[in-house]
Chain A
């Protein structure tokens, strides 16, 4: 197992470098930091432009620039944004934290409920519950987040608030805190996350319940399940020890990849709920052509996806010895 982990990790490093180099090249071509600088400083002299390029490592070939940028990145010298001239890290840190809190909470809620529904549906195949869960899953998958978000906002924030004659919204429409809140307040923070988490979780529940149901049904029909039953083990133990564990193998892979993508932000949900996460950060930075803001986030997104893929591979190998031995 250790050898497998080392080998997979060793492969991940060149993949990370190659992908981030390609990303660097693409982002630089798309945002052109020198042009962005000139848009903000239209009267800059050629000398000033050269100074800017020198100071930001924008001279030499693209590989040379990438190496220089990477050196600054790993030493946490992330520089300032082009627009506003503000340090990149504090804003990016805040956005990352917000997206991770939202994404991980929604993933935890969504995957837990989704797997539960999937297991129950598979165990009660063609029951009323299974039929209802299947129909609900199709609805959940079909409703885009911008529709479910608006529906939830209208019902929980506007209609319910009016019906109950409340002074403040039953559930908040947007933001991380109520307007004017300046101190940390866990209760208010949770209250403000309910609707965005629900919007994201609806799709996760729908998707994972289908994955789990299908996977468990596959496993239930396999020969080793018959073998397990023939040993005289109770059905409950057969399901818990053999069926669910094996059915989880593909699910773990998908979950790891999904969670790894969270740092990229949940763009639609974040925009609708005015949630200042990485999705919002990335869109704004791209709109401004702000290379110093875009590139560190892109690196983190790529790294996160690679790391979580690696974790998925390792989990897969741990759950299924055939993989690491093969």
Chain B
């Protein structure tokens, strides 16, 4: 989901997968369509149940035409053709256990155009995040059944269409060697790229010992001291994880924040600068507060990073409450009709950072007249049960921003858990603003980026106006490398996110042994890019994205760049 990942190391990060789910709102139909020129076969392996057929080339609401680079071949020499695109669509759509079908369900057909090097993709609706699909194109000729690739790619992706080719993968290491059939100019500068699992402390120790040349650890208090050495350089880059406070406001839940006045007053009483100074600054000194809602400033143009600047207004909060009949009781707490609301603040434990935030802020809230009590639970109960059920008043957790800015699946009115959605809605703050929901749906079909950004900023302002949440901090990632083992400063160019791995063929020039060794903080059980194996940002960014071709690559700042898989910018036609 595009939500709720506390300190889990297995974050569903940027990649399309977060996006896929974020787009779920419009893709609740379980019906799937079959692909290809035949357009008559059924997808028997699909778990979703019914399948229908569509005629190849049937005109939908949007058509994307892609011309494949004539030189583009897999590492075994097989040309990359429309068959690979079609297979990819079918695999993501129909494979049992596909990590997400969102977006793929919008496609009516994937068919050849003027030749098998031209791909015509028909969408049933105008699908704004179309660039996020086809970013891991599967080699059709290595797959027995494109409708079920769940038993493929478990410990091998046999061919590549990128500079590196996977030579070996196990639970101990991944070894990549140059792809001799690669047609691009960015051929690898090293003879091998080796990745080995090295968790947080082990990674830093391995870097210090020279066992690995490059690591990409999460920031923690004291990390800059741990990395301090003459031959180690590190560069912070802002990632996609951000932490915030969320107010559960469901009218039928009976919580204190269902009263908009009380919610606004409380929101205005949260001194975020105090949290920054005491909780986040020790992690990475000098980092600022996040000032936009469900996006981050380093990913796309979606974050208006000024919207929450004036969120702290204790005098305004007191005045607002008094105007609406609230008064402080004998204990100094705000009360109405003699009742002091109890605010249950839920975090997952153990989580030292959030527990420290509670210890810091609960007395501050009491001083401001709010009776806040810690009401914590383990991660499983918090994220899998209580949050979806709205069994909290105030929650603090990490969210992940994706390149696609859609928040329809987590913030629209029809995603508020209710009987209508079988209580499976993902809007766990129970916020319903019809105007904002309309903007969300409109933004999902707006393919002009500037216009879409404007819509997203309006949605962001609704978050401010309705006091839905308070953003706190965008967590930095750190790229650290041995200057005596990797030449130059190049890795700093893409320190943010996992983008550095995409450029490893060019940025990381080795010294000495002609080999680059990466310490990976997480190690997946398998490397299938379609199934749950892909629920690992490390696997996707360090393995499947590194060998499988894409139409567009995402950049560290959330943009999209055309790859050399295609001959030119694809043509998008809204019919």
Q: How far is the CA of A84 from the CA of B525 in the complex (A)?
A: 6
Instruction: Determine whether the beta carbon of B198 is less than 8 Å from that of A43.
Output: no
Contact of A48 among B47, B192, B528 (CB under 8 A): B47
Contact of A45 among B48, B151, B171, B512 (CB under 8 A): B48
Instruction: Determine whether the beta carbon of A41 is less than 8 Å from that of B171.
Output: no
Question: Which residues on A sit within 8 Å (CB–CB) of B210?
Answer: 161, 167-169
The segment out of A217-225, A240-248, A266-274, A312-320 that lies at the interface is A266-274
Interface of A is mostly: loop
Q: Does B180 contact A (CB under 8 A)?
A: no
Question: Which residues on A sit within 8 Å (CB–CB) of B201?
Answer: 150, 272
Q: Does B208 contact A (CB under 8 A)?
A: yes
Q: Does B175 contact A (CB under 8 A)?
A: yes
Q: Does A134 contact B (CB under 8 A)?
A: no
Q: How far is the CA of A41 from the CA of B532 in the complex (A)?
A: 8
Q: Does A299 contact B (CB under 8 A)?
A: no
Instruction: Determine whether the beta carbon of B211 is less than 8 Å from that of A173.
Output: yes
Instruction: Determine whether the beta carbon of A173 is less than 8 Å from that of B517.
Output: no
Q: Does A174 contact B (CB under 8 A)?
A: yes
Instruction: Determine whether the beta carbon of A276 is less than 8 Å from that of B202.
Output: no
Contact of B205 among A174, A180, A271 (CB under 8 A): A174
Question: Which residues on B sit within 8 Å (CB–CB) of A40?
Answer: 97, 531-532
Instruction: Determine whether the beta carbon of A45 is less than 8 Å from that of B525.
Output: no
Instruction: Determine whether the beta carbon of A83 is less than 8 Å from that of B525.
Output: yes
A residues 70-96 touching B (CB-CB < 8 Å): 81, 83-86, 91, 94
Give the bracket for the number of chain A residues in contact with chain B: 35 or more
Q: How far is the CA of A84 from the CA of B192 in the complex (A)?
A: 26
Contact of B47 among A45, A176, A182, A272 (CB under 8 A): A45
Q: Does A279 contact B (CB under 8 A)?
A: no
Interface of B is mostly: loop
The segment out of A1-9, A55-63, A151-159, A198-206 that lies at the interface is A151-159
Instruction: Determine whether the beta carbon of A157 is less than 8 Å from that of B205.
Output: yes
Given contacts A85-B150, A284-B525, contact A180 B517 (CB under 8 A): yes
Tell me the minimal C-beta distance from B325 to chain A in angstroms: 46
Q: How far is the CA of A182 from the CA of B168 in the complex (A)?
A: 9
Q: Does B283 contact A (CB under 8 A)?
A: no
Q: How far is the CA of A251 from the CA of B30 in the complex (A)?
A: 64
Q: Does A44 contact B (CB under 8 A)?
A: yes
Instruction: Determine whether the beta carbon of A44 is less than 8 Å from that of B96.
Output: yes
B residues 167-199 touching A (CB-CB < 8 Å): 168, 171-173, 175, 192, 194-199
Q: How far is the CA of A305 from the CA of B168 in the complex (A)?
A: 36
Question: Which residues on A sit within 8 Å (CB–CB) of B532?
Answer: 39-40, 83-84
Q: How far is the CA of A161 from the CA of B151 in the complex (A)?
A: 44
Question: Which residues on A sit within 8 Å (CB–CB) of B168?
Answer: 182
Q: Does A66 contact B (CB under 8 A)?
A: no
Tell me the minimal C-beta distance from B347 to chain A in angstroms: 20
Instruction: Determine whether the beta carbon of B202 is less than 8 Å from that of A179.
Output: no
Q: Does A211 contact B (CB under 8 A)?
A: no
Question: Which residues on A sit within 8 Å (CB–CB) of B211?
Answer: 157, 168-169, 172-175, 178-179
Q: Does B212 contact A (CB under 8 A)?
A: yes
Given contacts A154-B205, A158-B205, contact A84 B526 (CB under 8 A): yes
Instruction: Determine whether the beta carbon of A83 is less than 8 Å from that of B526.
Output: yes
Contact of A173 among B49, B172, B205, B515 (CB under 8 A): B205
Q: Does A308 contact B (CB under 8 A)?
A: no
| 0/1 string, B499-525, CB within 8 A of A gives 1 | 000000000000010010100000001
Q: Does A177 contact B (CB under 8 A)?
A: yes
| 0/1 string, A18-47, CB within 8 A of B gives 1 | 000000000000000000000111011100
Contact of A274 among B48, B151, B202, B526 (CB under 8 A): B202
Contact of B206 among A41, A45, A173, A182 (CB under 8 A): A173
Given contacts A179-B173, A284-B525, contact A174 B154 (CB under 8 A): no
Residue on A nearest B8 in the bound complex, by CB: A287
Instruction: Determine whether the beta carbon of B171 is less than 8 Å from that of A276.
Output: yes
B residues 207-237 touching A (CB-CB < 8 Å): 208-212
Instruction: Determine whether the beta carbon of A180 is less than 8 Å from that of B526.
Output: no
Residue on A nearest B193 in the bound complex, by CB: A180
Tell me the minimal C-beta distance from A214 to chain B in angstroms: 36
Question: Which residues on B sit within 8 Å (CB–CB) of A169?
Answer: 209-211
Given contacts A86-B154, A161-B210, A179-B196, contact A153 B49 (CB under 8 A): no
Q: Does B101 contact A (CB under 8 A)?
A: yes
Question: Which residues on B sit within 8 Å (CB–CB) of A274?
Answer: 196-199, 202
Tell me the minimal C-beta distance from B9 to chain A in angstroms: 10
Q: Does A112 contact B (CB under 8 A)?
A: no
Q: How far is the CA of A272 from the CA of B512 in the complex (A)?
A: 28
Q: Does A288 contact B (CB under 8 A)?
A: yes
Q: Does B364 contact A (CB under 8 A)?
A: no
Given contacts A43-B101, A44-B47, A173-B209, contact A86 B202 (CB under 8 A): no
Q: Does B533 contact A (CB under 8 A)?
A: yes
| 0/1 string, A244-281, CB within 8 A of B gives 1 | 00000000000000000000000000011110100000
Q: Does B155 contact A (CB under 8 A)?
A: yes
Q: How far is the CA of A150 from the CA of B531 in the complex (A)?
A: 36
B residues 134-177 touching A (CB-CB < 8 Å): 150-151, 154-155, 168, 171-173, 175
Q: How far is the CA of A175 from the CA of B151 in the complex (A)?
A: 28
Residue on B nearest A272 in the bound complex, by CB: B202
Question: Which residues on A sit within 8 Å (CB–CB) of B202?
Answer: 173-174, 272-274
Tell me the minimal C-beta distance from B378 to chain A in angstroms: 13
Tell me the minimal C-beta distance from B405 to chain A in angstroms: 24
Given contacts A157-B205, A180-B515, A274-B198, contact A43 B48 (CB under 8 A): yes
Q: Write the residues of chain A forming the contact surface with B, with a CB cutoff of 8 angstroms.
A: 39-41, 43-45, 48, 81, 83-86, 91, 94, 150, 153-154, 157-158, 161, 167-169, 172-180, 182, 271-274, 276, 284, 288
Known contacts A85-B150, A167-B512, A179-B194; 5 additional CB pairs below 8 A are A43-B101, A85-B97, A158-B209, A161-B209, A180-B175
Interface pairs A-B: 4 shortest CB-CB:
A84-B526, A157-B209, A169-B209, A158-B208
